[in-house]
Amino acid sequence: MAKIRLNVLGISYSQTQSGAYALVLTEEEGDRRIPIIIGGFEAQAIAIQLEGLQPPRPLTHDLFHNFAKAFNIKLLEVTIHKLEEGVFYSKLLCDNGGKQLVIDARTSDAIALALRFKCPIYTTEEIMAKAGIILDLEEAEEELDSIIDENVEHPGPAEANPYKEMTLRELKELLSQSIRTENYEKASQIRDEIKRREQQSKK
């Protein structure tokens, strides 16, 4: 079966639900996109790699990457091979120099590792036909927010935004400080606020 190569377009966060994220993948030769609901920890692990941030100590996916490299294990490719009841299933194709092995993985973990190993990500036409959507830039944010809302339980009332009065420069300085002190939950919240400001400035 022919494989469709995917690229990581980015991570969309819900405008209405704190801590709700969608990982957005796009086909390399086409306009269809696949939104995948992921948790905050996985969103953080992917975002840090996408933005080229260097934590002072390795996160879990960095540790896996370093461990694999130390034992000469390569991640050749990631394939999203099944979609069942809204859940995406993935597998890792690994090579230890002597043989190739296939390992099951959660899709969010598989993507986080693919970015670190710089290996290709694939899916099938069947999954693309089921889950692929075409979004114009203007409607993308609203549509993805709707998808997140449909797939994530609604939390209680949102807390006041503690970063609302800070300037963009102050936010970026605080982001760097949070990464240095390994406060990744805070760093994720600050990064979301920066992205929110940047999106608003483009409107």
Q: What is the pTM of this model?
A: 0.71
Annotated domain spans of the chain = 3-158, 161-203
Q: Write down the mean pLDDT value for the chain.
A: 82
Q: Which CATH class is domain 3-158?
A: alpha beta
Top mean-pLDDT range of 38-52, 115-129, 175-189:
115-129
Listed in sequence order, the residues at least 6 apart from 39 whose beta carbon sits closer than 8 Å to its beta carbon are 21, 108
- What pLDDT does 59 receive? 87
pLDDT, tens only, 71-109 = 999 999 999 999 998 899 999 999 998 999 999 999 999
Angle between helices 168-180 and 184-202 (to 10 degrees): 160
Q: Please say whether the beta carbons of 97 and 109 come within 8 A.
A: no
pLDDT, mean of residues 129-149: 63
**Per residue in 173-186, pLDDT tens?**
888 888 777 677 67
**Axis-axis angle for helices 40-50, 60-70 (nearest 10):** 60
- C-alpha to C-alpha distance for 120 and 101, rounded to whole angstroms: 16
Joined tokens for residue 52: 């080229």
Local structure of residue 31 (DSSP, 8 states): S
Residue 38 has pLDDT above 90, yes or no: no
